[in-house]
Amino acid sequence: MRKLKNNELNRISVAEFKTTSKTPLIVVLDNIRSLNNIGSVFRTSDAFLIEKIYLCGITATPPNKDIHRTALGATESVAWEYVEDTLTLIKKLKEEKIKVLAIEQAENSTKLDTFHPIKGETYAIVMGNEVKGVQQEVVDASDLCIEIPQLGTKHSLNISVTTGVVLWDLFQKMQ
């Protein structure tokens, strides 16, 4: 078995990405501190043809060299927008009939492996701050709370890892 070279991967260009049909998923970053996590979310969102990323609160925005270092150009392909208040955005998305999923450990949460997206629906996943998680008022305003089942001793996964797990799971279920 031989590793493929980058020029053998047949990746689409940024221009082609912008016109390609997208996966009906939106990522909302709620007060993310780490520039590397933000860049990683852009890169993962590019991989799964995500519609858009919303950067909220203290979440930094491109252009930024530290975001770019992990995004590797995905800030150019994936649509994004800065919105100061996450709760205001959540209300707007719900008015647009987008289902809002807070990714958080909460009472009566739905486990990711048992959640099945409805065909034709668009979903926004809300990823929370590295220390405090998704704001409680945002959890309250969400349609559903999704939790990744975990069995080890730690209480959480890194936000970039969580985003990758959730996007992959939803992406493959939507195919």
How high is the pLDDT of residue 127? 98
User: Whole-angstrom Cα distance, residue 31 to residue 46?
Assistant: 21
What is the rounded end-to-end Cα distance, in angstroms, of the chain? Answer: 28
Please state the rounded mean pLDDT for residues 63-81: 97
How high is the pLDDT of residue 155? 86
Q: How many CA atoms lie within 13 A of 22 on its CB side?
A: 21
Please state the rounded mean pLDDT for residues 99-105: 98
Among 87, 89, 55, CA closest to 71: 55
Please state the rounded mean pLDDT for residues 43-62: 98
SS3 category, 18: helix
146: enclosing H helix or E strand: strand 144-147
Please state the rounded mean pLDDT for residues 95-124: 97
* Six token digits for residue 60: 């930094």
Domains delineated in the chain:
18-174 (3.40.1280.10)
If phi over 0 gives left and psi between -120 and 50 gives alpha, with beta otherwise, what is residue 110? Answer: beta
